[in-house]
Amino acid sequence: MSALVETMFYTGREKPWHGLGISVESAPTSKDAIVAAGLDWTVEKKPIYDAAGNQINNYFANTRDKDNSVLGVVSGRYEIVQNEEAFAFTDSLVEEGLVYESAGSLRDGKTIWLLGQMPKTKILDDDLGNFICFTNTFDGSGAVQCCCTPIRIVCNNTLNLALRTAKRKWSTRHIGDIQSKLRQAQVTLGLVQEYTEELQKEAEKLAATKMSDAEIEAMLDILYPVEEDASELRRSNVIRLKDNFFKCLQAPDVKPYKGTAYATIMAATDYADHGEPIRKTQNFEANRWFNIMQGHPFVDAIYKQVAA
């Protein structure tokens, strides 16, 4: 598997990331999803010793039980949130219509995720699948996080914008009693609903904002400047990026909005989701997915320009 993707499962027939992971019929609960994703392991804080055998105070190694691998070095204040604990409260969302789509381990277990789809909504004329992604880290780099990722069903492109009026990502705590899980689930649903409502308002605003091809090219020049002493490789890469971006503007689902800021955003999401990057690394497909879930920097940069 990819060096970034350690284990994962997905539902449905379409294979993500060129066939990485295993296909399952369904994962109705978070416990089932964790097993299918290969996340049925726990982490323990173990003491660290120096070369002389002396324990190093206030630092511990987060160690995975299934292979004794060290996922990160953390301070004594760090509290482990196990996989089962991190995703337990998502079972409360199943009753609200959540369906598990995929889950897995990234970076050799340092990061884990679970992706679920809420009931579909509509933005302008687009049918959207509202996805919630839950992530957790064991290397001390971050807390348990949730993010909302609307995906346009007709072309499987995200419409995940860094709105100024609603959160796209938030952190959540997980504790054992059922009432806390239910409260957290309701907060999560409320934030997803708030984001969707604000996205609808922003889409209407963008669709009413005119934007010419010349303005788009000027925007790309700002984002990807070519200095006078730039190499031929740099020049050709930027030309290729622009050409591919304008090709995305000709997509059938984008044409109804041609000449608007909304079409520019849809072209940006199409390019970010499906276009080849300027630098194509071995793990670019997995990196692309992670950026899409968290908010793709290219789409954010385009949105910042058109919404200015």
How confident is the model over 21-60, as pLDDT tens digits?
A: 777 877 767 788 889 899 999 999 999 999 999 999 999 9
Q: Which residue has the tokens 């934030």?
A: 191
User: What whole-number distance in Å separates Cα of residue 77 and Cα of residue 39?
Assistant: 24
pLDDT of residue 179: 61
Average pLDDT, the chain: 84
User: What whole-number distance in Å separates Cα of residue 75 and Cα of residue 83?
Assistant: 20
Confidence of residue 175 (pLDDT cuts 50, 70, 90): very low
Q: What is the DSSP letter of 211?
A: -
Nearest to 41 by CA among 55, 21, 62: 62
Nearest to 105 by CA among 74, 69, 51, 76: 69
Looking at residue 202, its amino acid is: E
Confidence of residue 190 (pLDDT cuts 50, 70, 90): confident
Find how far residue 124's CA is from the centre of its chain.
Answer: 23
What's the mean pLDDT in 3-25? 71
Residue 152, pLDDT > 70, answer yes
Give the range among 40-54, 60-74, 236-250, 269-283 with minimum mean pLDDT.
269-283
Contact 117, 99 (CB under 8 A): yes
Residue 286, pLDDT > 70, answer no
